[in-house]
Amino acid sequence: MPENLSYLLGRKGLDKNLFEELGIAAQDTGTPDLEKMEELRKEFLVGKSTLYGTTSFYDFLRPENKGKKVYICNGSACLTADTQGKLKDKILKEYSSDEVGEMCCLGRCHENGAFHIDGKNYSGTDIENLTDIKKTKSNTKETYNVAYIGTPILTEKIQDLNQFYSLLKTSLSKSPDELLNEIKASGIRGRGGAGFAMGFKLESCKNTPSQDKFVVCNADEGDPGAYSDRYLLEEQPHKLLLGMILTGYVIGANWGVVYIRGEYPASVDKINDSIAFLRENHLIGKNILDSNFNFDFKVVKAMGAYICGEETALLSSIEGQRPEVRVRPPYPTQVGLFNKPTVVNNVETLANIPFILANGGAKYASIGTVKSTGTKLVCLDSHFNQPGMYEVDMGTPLQTVIEELGKGFNKRVKALHIGGPLGGLVPVSKIKNLSIDFDSFGKEGFLLGHASVVSIPENFPLVKYIEHLFQFTAHESCGKCFPCRLGSTRGYELFKKAQNEDYKIDRTLLNDLLNTMEKGSLCALGGGLPLPIKNALMYFEEELKEYLK
């Protein structure tokens, strides 16, 4: 059935798709009304259960959010900073409780106290001006540190857009194979978590015959603690867009889809504005620069679902289906969006392509380490003296990032959760053993992932943090596989009960639960959650033993 639905929902292509129409229908009230849903159901020829299953899944479409006016960030960084309780108290003085909802995460991890009103994000001291914000619906200026150690591939500002896009003309004069060979020679690996070789993915899609192919930018990786995607979308949009155009040329795609988190409204606006610049200058569309190459963009605003950071769930979401993880094989490079060959990469990965093709794959490969080439963006949260978004050569010691860029911690910290909710929980004693690259983290039993850093202060109970991770996974699970759906809920219940009742968790039961999730889950949401839990049990046994049998 999902395969048939993909074909069916692809009838109208990207010009008008069901998911986007549901978002438009929900703009005024927070959820589409039944009359509009019936109208869309008939237009797109789908069943009532299919449409309701889609609508009820997303945070910003489900009926429970009808009438919500304010959303409070419930991400890990805001949790450990302990800002949201006081924030909510102040919000409830201006809004009733049924007008207040939650979002995760707004990407304001550098200063916390994050909330969302009327399509705009706020953080830091903005809550002190809530009355004015409510009245004027004004924007506030957000700032955070940006710096680098090594080679500024992604953080170097573009001085002249015309000169920057001259690379497009140069590249289109070469064959797709020539460009692909440079990308393969660069050794670039996906920056989203798994570190999969980008060149292999592109070659697979390029060699799959089809009249229609897609390049999809996964800008919905909402790891709490990470705001590097938001930086690139808002401050370096043309590096991403040119990277997508060039990727499209390599694989033979005519469409680029930028799927952006609904929690990043400014990012959506900035990308739309940047695409308008490309259109005005005839850098996208038909027969670009007289090359016979056609390429255009579609921006899709997501509706609040962490699971859409998983590439196959993201594809189902664009189609208008419930964003459930797909069984692989087949892989998206053969059967992707609307069942057509599709390359899915995240923002940071695609934004590297212009540098690689301008300077050559060998130059890129000379930066970083043999197995982890290039640079990596790292986000530091508010527990650092100098929080911010930093670019470092792969292989840079983690201690250098913390001390030279972050200027150390502003309070006593016992652990760093690096790489998002599914990343490793690193005790501070292990910092000296790690460098910013895939293999260093893997060797020590952790995961680099997005390289987001959420600090856990010494006075923050780890048992509470573990409960939070299970609860997060239970809320965000697509529900398709039992190990993730049931395992995360059971884990949340166990750790909540251990804190609130005279109950100790059986270690054998807990180990079985974690192993079942790790081995039996369809994707990295259920399969990755056990990693930080196991790290916590290994390195913080003394703190956790009172909750364990």
pLDDT of residue 15: 85
The hierarchical CATH code for the domain 375-457 is 3.10.20.600
DSSP string, 377-394: EEEE-TTBSS-EEEEEET
Q: Does 157-365 match 375-457 in CATH topology?
A: no
Question: What are the distances in angstroms from CA 464 to CA 315, 384, 457, 498, 499?
Answer: 34, 22, 12, 10, 8
pLDDT of residue 16: 86
pLDDT of residue 440: 95
pLDDT of residue 284: 98
pTM for the complete prediction?
Answer: 0.96
The hierarchical CATH code for the domain 462-547 is 1.20.1440.230
Tens of each residue's pLDDT in the chain, 549 residues: 466 788 888 888 888 889 999 999 998 888 999 899 999 999 999 999 889 999 999 988 988 888 889 999 999 999 999 999 999 999 999 999 999 999 899 999 999 999 999 889 999 999 999 999 988 888 888 889 999 999 999 999 999 999 999 999 999 999 999 999 999 999 999 998 778 899 999 999 999 999 999 999 999 988 999 999 999 999 999 999 999 999 999 999 999 999 999 999 999 999 999 999 999 999 999 999 999 999 999 999 999 999 999 999 999 999 999 999 998 899 999 999 999 999 999 999 999 999 999 999 999 999 999 999 999 999 999 999 999 999 999 999 999 999 999 999 999 999 999 999 999 999 999 999 999 999 999 999 999 988 999 999 999 999 999 999 999 999 999 999 999 999 999 999 999 999 999 999 999 999 999 999 999 999 999 999 999 999 999 999 999 999 999
CB 199 within 8 A of CB 427: no
User: How many whole angstroms separate alpha carbon 463 and alpha carbon 469?
Assistant: 10
User: How many whole angstroms separate alpha carbon 323 and alpha carbon 527?
Assistant: 17
Q: Domain 157-365 maps to which CATH number in 3.10.400.10, 3.40.50.720, 3.40.50.11540, 3.40.50.10490?
A: 3.40.50.11540
pLDDT of residue 7: 80
Structural domain boundaries in the chain: 2-65, 70-143, 157-365, 375-457, 462-547
pLDDT of residue 1: 46
* Range 70-143: architecture per CATH: 3-Layer(aba) Sandwich (3.40)
Torsion of CA 164, 165, 168, 173, to 10 degrees: -90
CB 303 within 8 A of CB 61: yes
pLDDT of residue 64: 85
B/e letters for 324-352, b = 16+ CB within 10 Å, e = fewer, are bbbeeeebbbbbbbbbbbbbbbbbbbbbb
pLDDT of residue 497: 97
Non-local CB neighbours of 177 within 8 Å, separated by 6+ positions: none
pLDDT of residue 2: 61
**Distance of alpha carbon 514 from the chain centroid:** 24
pLDDT of residue 65: 83
